[in-house]
Amino acid sequence: ETGVTQTPRHLVMGMTNKKSLKCEQHLGHNAMYWYKQSAKKPLELMFVYNFKEQTENNSVPSRFSPECPNSSHLFLHLHTLQPEDSALYLCASSQDLGGGLDTQYFGPGTRLTVL
């Protein structure tokens, strides 16, 4: 247990569905991240929130919409996804001190399958 939880752990959805992924961190961190991990590809950073403000949007399609209501919770809203969006979606958090060494702790991930 890293102190970062994600729900659901598995999700199967059709291309016309709307769903949301939830992440919660219990570590008192101020930065949260969404990553996508596809087979045989490096982890891809999608979004970064620092003190609830989005500081990075790594050219992610608009069918992925993040929401960070407070520094402990992070959501990823999904709509009209494509089969190639099937992947493991990982949430991470860190205590961003602004000087490097921002050790990130990962949640267990949500395995998403888009039919």
Decide: is 25 part of the binding site for other proteins (CB under 8 A): no
Decide: is 59 part of the binding site for other proteins (CB under 8 A): no
Decide: is 107 part of the binding site for other proteins (CB under 8 A): yes
**Measured in whole angstroms, how far is the alpha carbon of residue 60 from the centre of its chain?**
12
Here's the x/- map for other proteins, 80-99, by CB under 8 A: it reads as --------x-x---x-x-xx
Of 23, 48, 78, 112, the residue at the interface with other proteins (CB under 8 A) is: 48
Q: Which residues bind other proteins (CB under 8 A)?
A: 2, 31, 33, 40-43, 45, 48, 50, 55-56, 88, 90, 94, 96, 98-109
